[in-house]
Amino acid sequence: MLDIDLNKVVDLSVQAGDAVLEVYRSNDISVERKEDRTPLTLADKRSHEVIVNGLETLCPGIPVLSEEGQTIPYETRKHWDWFWLVDPLDGTKEFINRNGEFTVNIALMDQDEPVLGVVLVPASGVVYFAQKDYGAFKKTGNCEPERILVDKNPNNGMVAVRSRSHSSPEEEKFLKQFNVVKVIHVGSSLKFCMVADGSAHIYLRFGPMMEWDTAAGHCVAEVAGAVIRSRMNERVYYNTESLRHEGLIVSCGSIGAL
């Protein structure tokens, strides 16, 4: 494991979150459209600049793969041992709709596995962070961090958390096989964090997802004890040629075989 100061990565996420909030609190949130028609705001760009510049200072020589960065060919990426995988503003639709459910995501990757993850919720000041073989934590404002663990014994029924913008009837059908007593719709990587801190027990997404959308939350949830699998009940890999997952399932680990 690289000698990375997790607290400095958390501090960097807060700096990026401040840049996001500056735009969020302005009177004009202008929206562009990328080639894939997904929205892009000034907040995405400013957060990207803060994170990339900060990581280059913190860890010179470790490449950064960001949603808002340059396209890096797979022939180059596939040889990376370590790299940062970043989503400067996850939940841009939630940002535009001003519901507070957007995050800043920074993950350190050991080849195809996230081993350090930071998920900041700028609107609330809550930050989730984790490192493999160290633990997963939640920190609110200036309070001391608290260690978080998944709730592996949902004796009173399961809470499912689903995407606010991308839920599907197929997911609804899948959930019916479990004792789900409540469904919460939330934007961005917050869904991973809700499973990680025990406020939810299962999160599934059956549509395509980009790797930068999931890496930081994946690390937080997995270190907290969650089980993360593909739709085919296989390990979820990163730094693939497409940089895309075809859905995944995050569970508290007590639902049996998927």
Q: Name the nearest CA neighbour of 162 among 193, 196, 204, 201.
A: 204
Radius of gyration of the chain (CA): 17
* pLDDT for the residue numbered 45: 92
* pLDDT for the residue numbered 258: 42
Euclidean distance between CA atoms 123 and 91, whole angstroms:
12
Euclidean distance between CA atoms 217 and 220, whole angstroms:
5
Q: Name the nearest CA neighbour of 131 among 152, 112, 110, 151.
A: 110
pTM of the model: 0.94
Domains in the chain (CATH in brackets) are 6-147 (3.30.540.10), 158-251 (3.40.190.80)
Q: What is the pLDDT of residues 28-60, one digit of tens each?
A: 677 777 766 677 888 999 999 999 999 999 999
- In three-state secondary structure terms, 19 is helix
> Which residue type sits at 166?
H
| Contact (CB, 8 A) for 179 and 137 | no
| Contact (CB, 8 A) for 203 and 222 | no
- Alpha-helical runs (H) found in 163-235: 169-175, 190-196, 211-223
In the structure, what pLDDT confidence band is assigned to residue 167 with cuts at 50, 70 and 90? low
Euclidean distance between CA atoms 44 and 41, whole angstroms:
5
